[in-house]
Amino acid sequence: MKPQKNSPSSRKLSVAVATPILVLLALAVLSLYDFNFAADSYQYIRRASSASSSTSSPPITTSSSSSASPTNSSVPASRVNSSSSTSPATTVEACDQTRGQWVPDDEAPYYTNLTCPFIDDLQNCMKFGKPSLDFMRWRWQPDGCDLPRFDAARFLDAMRGKSMAFVGDSLARNHIKSLLCILSQVAQPVEVVTTAEIDVTGRPVRRDFHYGSHGFNVSLFWSPFLVKANLSDSAHGLGLWDMHLDTPDPRWAAHIAEFDYIVLSGTNWFFRPSLYHEGGRVVGRNGGAAATGDGVHGATPEMPVSGAVRAAFRTALGAIAAREGFRGKALVRTVTPAHFENGEWNTGGDCVRTRPLRRGERDRDAVVAEFRAAQVDALRDTAAMSQRNGAELRLLDITEAMELRPDGHPSRYGHPPGGSVEGSFVIDCLHWCLPGPIDLWSELLFQMLLDHQ
């Protein structure tokens, strides 16, 4: 006996029954996703102030990318992602890649501590046994668009014959090491060894890395204040600094014309006891300066630290904008927050969270917002000069994304047990594990350079 064929009416009945069921299942999945990851309205200051909201920074565009197939959540060295330069980029207008949320990601990191030779022990969280490696299993998802994964081959092709400088403090060093590690998928640079100038803090003032196959040079300048600063008294705690707010640090500023791209950053050192100089005279101090030495600086008017940050970035950006021969791009990388909880860096604070925060889960840090506003104001104030002289100033805004990552710091796993980070700095909730959330900075940097070539 032949099997009976379904009649058209029975097929219609099946579709009519199945369709509502499928719709209900889809709604249930969406509801579950929203419950886990949907963000409340995030009350972060994104434009410094209402007065500067329309002029603070150009919009950041991004590129679309095809979705990658997920992999197992383990991250052995043999499964570090390789990059491809075959897919063209399509510009997505009016998408701010700096606003978004962290979502789970099963893709292996770009590198590990076994595949990248540039990771400092202080950020080598895998080597020193950070209890949870889940901090590597999140990706940044911008609102309304996608952020493509970093294509190391394409980046090196775009940078062929060019040069880039990172100027700032130890977080600038953290950033450049992230970039070198990501690029190590394709090429390894040679560090150009010269007779290095050593800063009063014991750090080399300049380090240079050369990609001979691409003619690409990357340099790191140690300049935590961006402006000229002298350690006038090292005998008291963090020392007393003479900070010349109207004079760029000549150790990097003398080389501006050598570079096509300059990434400026740095805010953490501004908390150190300092006297502020302008026009060759003392014009102010921060709160810590009165407690140093013999107290003779107590009568000097106190200046908000954010005011010094604003002045220093304005001076540094002004030096770039005015430099004869510089027709490149300067980017201000915004302040990144520390995540010490239950105490400060020297009073037992630590960072033991194991997952990102959701937007609105934690109040924004008022000091971080104030420092970011100071950076944005400085960029706005020098934008007109830069346009006249042919330079471009951009904002590499990572503050909101990094505020949500208290899980991505070394904590006490950036050194062997009993060791320290720098001096008595034992628990590190300021710098970032490599690999880790800081790799986002290079992803955003790459997209900004591509979009504004």
Which residues are tagged catalytic?
170, 428, 431
Is residue 132 classed as helix, strand or coil in its secondary structure?
coil
Is residue 289 classed as helix, strand or coil in its secondary structure?
helix
Give phi and psi for 351, each to the nearest 5.
-135, 100
Q: How far apart are CA 165 and CA 33, in angstroms?
A: 41
Is residue 436 classed as helix, strand or coil in its secondary structure?
coil
For the four alpha carbons of 73, 75, 78 and 82, in that order, the dihedral sign comes to positive
Residue type (1 letter), 324: E
Pairing of strands 190-192, 281-285: unpaired
Q: How far is CA 322 from the centre of its chain?
A: 26
Q: How far apart are CA 248 and CA 93, in angstroms?
A: 36
| Bond preceding residue 224 cis, omega within 30 of 0 | no
Using a 10 angstrom Cβ sphere, with 0-12 exposed, 13-18 middle and 19 or more buried, the burial of residue 21 is exposed
Q: 168 and 266 in contact (C-beta within 8 Å)?
A: yes
Q: 373 and 332 in contact (C-beta within 8 Å)?
A: no
**What is the residue-wise DSSP string for 395-452?**
EE--HHHHHT-GGGS-BT-SSSTT--SBTTB-SBSSS--SSSTTHHHHHHHHHHHHHT
Is residue 331 classed as helix, strand or coil in its secondary structure?
strand
Is residue 91 classed as helix, strand or coil in its secondary structure?
strand
Q: Copy the structure tokens of residue 311.
A: 């002045």
